[in-house]
Amino acid sequence: MERSIENIWKEGFESDKSFELPLVKDLYTRKSKLIIDKIKSTSKWDNLSLIPMAIFLFGLFTFLSKVILGIYVAALILLLFFLNKRMMKKLDQFDAGSNTYQYLTTYYTQLKIIQKFYIKLMAIGIPVFIIPAYWMYFLETPMMIDFMGLGIYFQIIIVAVTASLLSGLGVLCYKLSTHLVYGKLTTRIEEIINDMEELMKI
Partner 1 sequence: MSKDFYTQFVLPYAGIIIKICRAYTDNEEDFQDYYQEVCLQLWKSRENFKGDSKWSTWVYRISLNVSLSLLKKDKKVHKNSVELPNLDNGVQDSNPFNDESLKLLYIAIKKLSELDRAIILLYLEENSYQEIAEIMGLLPNNIGVKITRIKKKLKTLLDGKIY
Nearer to partner 1 among residue 34 and residue 173 (C-beta): 34
From CA 91, how far away is CA 36, in angstroms rounded? 10
* Binding site residues, partner 1, CB under 8 A: 3, 5-6, 8-9, 11-13, 15-22, 24-25, 27, 30-31, 34, 195, 199, 202
Instruction: Please provide residue 117's backbone torsions phi and psi, each rounded to the nearest 5 degrees.
Output: -60, -45
173, 177, 180, 184 alpha-carbon torsion, rounded to 10°? -120
The stretches of the chain forming alpha helices (DSSP H) are 5-15, 29-48, 50-63, 67-92, 100-120, 126-138, 142-148, 152-201
Least distance in Å: CB of 42 to partner 1? 14
